Structure 1
């Protein structure tokens, strides 16, 4: 459970982000995504290496960019949790995080295609191609297949 001071800090961070977006509606429309480059990237409360680390993310984890401040990006994850990440620790390689409890990895982009494997909640997959409501993805072990896009978050 988050301490009162941490909840207050997160609330203020959320308020400042919403204020910025209301002041610039065009920014609210644009959805820029990045993914983590390498293992052990820290997401912090403020855009500083001295700020408290909120969580640590591994290679490929997708994040939505909310705003930029110097070499820092304010980002949110699939649960809409906000934080700051050092921009050089990110990349423009599309990835998705599985948001369903379990997602069928299929041989093709329909429910009629054979299930080749199961993906677990919060597994990170690289996005290869999109087709209608389906996404072709690649697991960290190199296995490829298709998932329904509503079972994952990212780009």
Structure 2
């Protein structure tokens, strides 16, 4: 089978585009985690534009996890599990992993798995610190210090 140069170039171009689209799926979790940040301060403003003179769109609490969509100087364009939210000043964020509960409630369990004892109930929008992960479960810590395991599918973050 012979290819003409233009057709071969198109095939290479399509292959490169396919690889570029698949790269985030093939990247290790640690590489993808770099695209996340959490709020460092007690309350941080998310702004319409990357400047302190811009309107505040949202106020987010300590630990709230955010997906970084764009970087511009010391500003990050961020989103959460629902949408792109706006811009946050990068020094007000941290690389400490957190999750937010996205379901109405979630069982906090003694060990990873539904067969283990429930040690608490997490409420929707509650923010927890991620201590570790095992399969489809995340080991988390609540603000008051209580630790346990939660099903990742009931949360968002890293």
Pick the aligned partner of 1:137 from 126, 137, 140.
Answer: 140
- Residue in structure 1 matched with residue 124 of structure 2 by the alignment: 121
CA root-mean-square deviation: 1.6
- Residue in structure 1 matched with residue 48 of structure 2 by the alignment: 45
Q: Give the drift of 1:81.
A: 3.1
- Residue in structure 1 matched with residue 13 of structure 2 by the alignment: none
The alignment partner of 1:137 has SS state of strand
Q: Does 1:60 align with 2:93?
A: no
- How many pairs are equivalent? 131
Where does 1:100-111 land on structure 2 (aligned, <5 Å)? 100-111=103-114
- Unaligned 5+ segments in structure 1 are 1-21
Where does 1:71-90 land on structure 2 (aligned, <5 Å)? 71-90=74-93
TM-score, normalised to structure 2, is: 0.79
CA distance in 2, matches of 1:153, 1:80: 12
- Unaligned 5+ segments in structure 2 are 1-16, 25-30
Q: Give the drift of 1:78.
A: 1.7
- Residue in structure 1 matched with residue 152 of structure 2 by the alignment: 149
CA distance in 2, matches of 1:130, 1:117: 18
CA distance in 2, matches of 1:65, 1:127: 18
CA distance in 2, matches of 1:90, 1:82: 15
TM-score, normalised to structure 1, is: 0.81
- The CA deviation string for residues 92-151 of structure 1, in whole angstroms up to 9 with x for no partner, is 000000000000000000000000110000000000000000000000000000000000
CA distance in 2, matches of 1:52, 1:43: 9
Q: Is the radius of gyration larger for structure 1 or structure 2?
A: 2
- Residue in structure 1 matched with residue 98 of structure 2 by the alignment: 95
Q: Give the drift of 1:45.
A: 0.7
